[in-house]
Amino acid sequence: MRYDLNLLPIFVALMEERSVTRAAERLGMTQPALSNALARLRTMLQDQLFIRERYGIQPTPVALELAPAIADALARLDDAVLGQQDFDPTHAERLFTIAPNGYVEFVLVPAIVARLAQVAPGIRLRLTPYGNDLSETGVISGTTAMVLGRIVDPPDNLVVQHLMDESLECVVRAGHPQVGEAITREQFEQLRHVNVMPPGRIRAGVFQALAQQQLKRDVAISVTNFFAVAEMVAVTDYCTTLPRLICNRLRHDPRLKVLPAPVDLGQFPVEIAWHVRYRHDPAHRWLRSLIGDVVRQLAA
């Protein structure tokens, strides 16, 4: 029997999205075109495959059984084709969509962009947010090249690589009337705090670190990103607790002083993850290597 391989990515999109509308948007197709393709899929695989329900579609037992084999076959095909291609970063023209969490976007992405401008000016990046849900980034389906941050409970089709471990420090204004060259536990708990609550797993990490040490905070204001924190601390007597690499930037601001946390708040991992189909993509491998080099230099 001859199979139409063009239909297999449609099957994968329907399995992952569980919605004809979302699958069509992801594949850049109209809904009628996707419905027509689904009809051909049903004929080819001799099963209904997906049953329409109130809030989307649900796969049949046959679809669930076929899904791992089809996804693996597509990944192997990508590996075979892409593995034969050469990649020259100095002349390559390619757009990568990546999903950094708020910390990575603030600390790592500028350094990555600067390196790309030097060695691969034709490589362009498009950023999409990484919040609490990996599926919202597009990395699980492979439409997004990679996700960077803290990767929790990844599915089997993602490859996860550890990049570095990050620690936490405290920041107050340089002329703070209560804090000298160190901050005590008592001072930390008496001060009011600027709390960073980005949409991501780092939020849980900071909260858990404080809870494990039974360290209390009187939060005066919570913000959604790291960009506003320095200005708020510089004009108040508030304190903030931030990752070390962010604090390294703030050490150069004469309005601020960076201090060790009053207790050991431990470390949290920074990771990168990508779909298995990109394992042997030469351009993807090159970009992963570049990101690893940038992170090692910053961490040092």
Contact, 167 vs 244, CB < 8 A?
yes
Identify which of 125, 126, 147 has the alpha carbon closest to the alpha carbon of residue 138.
147
> How many whole angstroms separate alpha carbon 59 and alpha carbon 71?
15
pLDDT at 122: 93
> How many whole angstroms separate alpha carbon 98 and alpha carbon 128?
6
Chain segment 187-201, per-residue pLDDT in tens = 999 999 999 876 554
Contact, 132 vs 200, CB < 8 A?
yes
What is the average pLDDT across 266-289? 89
Indicate where the chain has its CATH 3.40.190.290 domain(s). 91-300
The count of C-alpha atoms lying within 13 angstroms of the C-alpha of 254, restricted to the half-sphere facing its C-beta, is 0
Topology of domain 5-82, CATH: Arc Repressor Mutant, subunit A (1.10.10)
Q: Which CATH architecture has domain 91-300?
A: 3-Layer(aba) Sandwich (3.40)
Picking from 43-52, 105-114, 131-140, 196-205, which range would have the lowest pLDDT averaged per residue? 196-205
Is residue 201 within a helix (H) or strand (E), and if so which, with residue range? none
State the helix-helix crossing angle for 20-27 and 8-17, rounded to 10 degrees.
130
160 — pLDDT class (breaks 50, 70, 90) = very high
**How much of the chain exceeds pLDDT 70, in percent?**
93
pLDDT at 18: 85
Indicate where the chain has its CATH 1.10.10.10 domain(s). 5-82
Which residues partner with 52 through β-bridges? 57
Chain segment 221-257, per-residue pLDDT in tens = 988 888 889 999 999 999 999 999 999 989 999 999 9
> How many whole angstroms separate alpha carbon 137 and alpha carbon 147?
7
Name the pTM for this structure. Answer: 0.70
> How many whole angstroms separate alpha carbon 37 and alpha carbon 11?
9
pLDDT at 24: 86
pLDDT at 60: 93
Instruction: Give Cα separations from 52 to 27, 59, 192 (angstroms).
Output: 19, 9, 53
